Structures are given as structure tokens and as C-alpha cells.
């Protein structure tokens, strides 16, 4: 038995506690927002197809073409099957663009709300912080 080593490890105890509401907000940001974003994308794509605005129709036509893959992808068995499946999804480019923007908007709104709540609910200094020292420098005179 050595002098400086114990056979039993100490249990790790965090010096701070995380409130469950912050874990819930993280769950919403990571899991719920992409699910809501994909559902909103599906609805927005079906809604956008019915619009008679020429700019919207040209945008939809430009993004509704299927993906084009390089010729060497068809030589690899796994990649050729994956490429065939990706090409079978209708308007995947348009869905990806809408999904990206919806998730970006939802995440930014939730992050702004999160920061407002966090600023109002959490004290300025935590249990491991210390306030800044109050040092007044003297005016230099010669």
C-alpha cells in the first residue's frame, strides 16, 4: 500500500447544480426543433406549390430537380443504392432549403428567449465566481 494513493476513489461531486429547466431547453433545441422544422417544411412545400406568383414558381422549379451524382457513384454498390434512394425523394433540394431556414429561425428565436430568461433568472456571480476587485488607481503625479 502506497503512502499517497488510496484504494477507494472519491465520488465525483459537481461544485454546482444544473436546474432541470436548462436541460429541458437543451432538449427542445436539439430534438424538438428539427422535428417541428421538418413538419413545417413538408407543409410549406405543399403550400408553395399552389402559389401562382411567378417568382415562387421559378424558385420551386429551380430546386425541384433531383440531385446529380458523379458517374463513379454508380460503380460502388452501396453508394449507388443510396444515390438511387436520394434521387427518389421528390423536391429534396427545396425541402432542405426550407428546413434549414425554418430551423435557423426557430433556433434563433428560442435562443433569444433563452438568453432573456437566463439573464433574468440567474445571478451575475455563480458559486465558483468572485466579484471583480474594487481597486482604485491613484492618479500619477510627478
| Per-residue pLDDT tens over the stretch 24-65 | 878 888 888 999 999 999 998 888 877 777 877 787 877 877
Contact at 8 Å (CB) between 51 and 57? yes
Q: Is 133 helix (H, G, I), strand (E, B) or coil?
A: coil
The DSSP string of 24-85 is: HHHHIIIIIHHHHHHHHHHHHHHHHHT---HHHHHHHHHH-SPP---GGGGGSHHHHHHHHH
Whole-model pTM above 0.75?
no
- Which residue ranges make up each domain of the chain? 20-118
Q: Tell me the range of 72-81, 96-105, 115-124 where mean pLDDT is highest.
A: 96-105
pLDDT tens digits for range 123-136: 777 767 777 778 87
> How many residues in the chain?
142
Amino acid at each position: 500500500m502506497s503512502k499517497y494513493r488510496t484504494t477507494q476513489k472519491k465520488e465525483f461531486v459537481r461544485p454546482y447544480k444544473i436546474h432541470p429547466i436548462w436541460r429541458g431547453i437543451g432538449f427542445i433545441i436539439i430534438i424538438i426543433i428539427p422535428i417541428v422544422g421538418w413538419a413545417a417544411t413538408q407543409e410549406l412545400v405543399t403550400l408553395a406549390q399552389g402559389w401562382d406568383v411567378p417568382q415562387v414558381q421559378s424558385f420551386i422549379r429551380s430546386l425541384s430537380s433531383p440531385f446529380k451524382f458523379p458517374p463513379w457513384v454508380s460503380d460502388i454498390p452501396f453508394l449507388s443504392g443510396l444515390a438511387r434512394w436520394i434521387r427518389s425523394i421528390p423536391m429534396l433540394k427545396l425541402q432542405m432549403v426550407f428546413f434549414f431556414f425554418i430551423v435557423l429561425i426557430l433556433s434563433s428565436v428560442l435562443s433569444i428567449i433563452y438568453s432573456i430568461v437566463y439573464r433574468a433568472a440567474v445571478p451575475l456571480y455563480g458559486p465558483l465566481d468572485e466579484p471583480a476587485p474594487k481597486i482604485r488607481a491613484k492618479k500619477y503625479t510627478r
